[in-house]
Amino acid sequence: MLAINEWRGAGCRWSGREPVHRRRKALATGESGRVPRAGCAVQQAIFRGLVQSHLPWLSLSRALSWPATGPGARFSLNLMVALTQAGGMSGMDRNNPIVIGLDVGTQSVKLIAYDPQTRQVAATIGQPLDLASGDDGSREQRAEWWIDAIRSCFSRLDPALRARTTAIGVSGQQHGFVPVDRDGNVLAPAKLWCDTSTAAECDLIMGAVGGAQGAIELAGNPIMVGYTASKLPWTREHRSQAYAQLATIMLPHDYVNFWLTGERWMERGDASGTGWLDVRTRQWSDAMVAATDKDRDLRECLPPLVEADALFPVAAAIADELGLPRDVRVSAGGGDNMMAAIGTGNVSAGVLSMSLGTSGTLFAYADRPIVDDAGRWAAFCDSTGGWLPLICTMNCTVATEAVAGLCSFSTRQGATSCWPAPGPAPPAC
Q: What is the mean pLDDT of residues 128-152?
A: 97
Q: For residue range 391-428, list pLDDT tens digits in order.
A: 988 787 778 778 888 888 876 664 444 445 455 554 55
Provide the annotated active-site residues.
336
Residue 308 has pLDDT above 60, yes or no: yes
Residue 130's identity, in one-letter code, is: D
Q: For residue range 39-65, list pLDDT tens digits in order.
A: 555 555 444 433 333 222 222 222 333
Residue 304 has pLDDT above 70, yes or no: yes
- Give the pLDDT of residue 413: 62
Asked if 95 and 80 count as a contact pair (C-beta separation under 8 A), the reply is no
Taking the C-alpha atoms of residue 106 and residue 128, their distance in angstroms, rounded to an integer, is 9
Range of the domain at 363: 2-403
- Give the pLDDT of residue 1: 54
- Give the pLDDT of residue 295: 96
Q: For residue range 373-392, list pLDDT tens digits in order.
A: 999 999 999 999 999 999 98
Percent of all residues in the chain with a pLDDT value above 70, rounded to a whole number = 74
How many structural domains is the chain composed of?
1
Q: For residue range 155-170, list pLDDT tens digits in order.
A: 999 999 999 999 999 9
Q: For residue range 215-255, list pLDDT tens digits in order.
A: 999 999 999 999 999 999 999 999 999 999 999 999 999 99
pTM over 0.75: yes
Taking the C-alpha atoms of residue 47 and residue 307, their distance in angstroms, rounded to an integer, is 12
Burial class (CB in 10 A: 0-12, 13-18, 19+), 424: exposed
388 inside domain: yes
338 inside domain: yes
421 inside domain: no
427 inside domain: no
Q: How many CB atoms lie within 10 A of CB 307?
A: 13
417 inside domain: no
Question: What CATH number is given to the structural domain containing 7?
Answer: 3.30.420.40
364 inside domain: yes
186 inside domain: yes
- Give the pLDDT of residue 30: 29
- Give the pLDDT of residue 392: 86
- Write b or e for each residue in 103-134: b if 16 or more Cβ atoms lie within 10 A of its Cβ, otherwise e: bbbbbbbbbbbbbbeebbbbbbbbbbbbbebe
Residue 141 has pLDDT above 50, yes or no: yes
